[in-house]
Chains A and B, each alone.
Chain A
């Protein structure tokens, strides 16, 4: 298990790979009760600008959190969300193979609380940026 003290600024996690599928998109949209047909209905997707169903932008949570946990050393309950930034650069389509790189950008103590700031950059199978994300977590341990 990794502790706050062990994080190093500039530290990079092992790149995390993830393939988005229709099933993953559907399951995510179901879980957040989002009935947007662009995420769920083939016909709506086909007749849209995108020509296909797409993943909800915030389904980035699926692969960025997996990337965050990919080191397999985050203790349960240790990381509580404090801030989150997203740039949704390109839509994600079913079948897209995504690679997310996680870098520790900063760590600090404020009001006796420990915080770690991570940057996450996700690229698709063409090497194009899909989502850039920054996440600051309050480290409880």
Chain B
């Protein structure tokens, strides 16, 4: 690590209730397959339509952690270096993502506090699909510059 300062969002510029710029992505079977190869998670419930048709979901579903990546992208876009370490997320999964779904990741600043020389900002985060159904909800916490 070098001696440069981290590129952090200014704590004073972050207001409670502030909405983070959304991240929107369409998920296709091709993307799910690509993610399976990239992550090493080749569970057939994600990539084998015949197998997946026999499961409780009656079809292939995206990896839960693929959807979490969209939340992470939104947090990194907003908080920059305040997201890559010293950060946290807590997510509950409510519904699966299916091929063809369009997922929107959104976030809103929920709490702000200080700890030592850093600001700690927690956002309420969520992903919904094109029918506005809840896919995941949770919180994500990042650092900011005091």
Binding site for B on A (CB under 8 A): 24, 27-28, 30-34, 36, 38, 48-51, 54, 56-58, 61-62, 65-66, 69, 76-77, 79-91, 140
Contacts and interface: CB of A to CB of B under 8 A. Distances in A.
B89 interface: yes
B91 A84 contact: yes
Identify whether the interface residues of A are mostly helix, strand, loop, or mixed: mixed
B84 A76 contact: no
B37 A32 contact: no
Specify which of A31, A65, A66, A80 lies most central, judged by the most chain B CB atoms within 10 Å of its CB. Answer: A31
Contacts of B90: 83-86
B14 interface: no
Nearest to B52: A77
Contact of B65 (A65, A69, A79, A90): A65
B88 A77 contact: no
B12 interface: no
Contacts of B16: none
Given A27-B38, A84-B64, A32 B85 contact: no
Contacts of A79: 43
A32 B73 contact: yes
A57 B84 contact: yes
Nearest to A61: B65
Contacts of B81: 48-50
7 contacts: A30-B34, A32-B35, A56-B69, A65-B40, A76-B51, A77-B52, A84-B68
Nearest to B38: A31
Nearest to B89: A86
Interface residues of B, number: 45
A36 B25 CA distance: 15
Nearest to A74: B43
B45 interface: yes
A31 B43 contact: no
B44 interface: yes
A80 B44 CA distance: 12
A64 to B, nearest CB: 8
A51 B25 contact: no
Contact of A28 (B38, B44, B70, B93): B38
Contacts of A76: 43-45, 51
A77 B40 CA distance: 15
A81 B56 contact: no
Interface string B48-60: 0001100110000
A77 B43 contact: yes
B39 A28 contact: yes
B39 A81 contact: no
A126 to B, nearest CB: 12
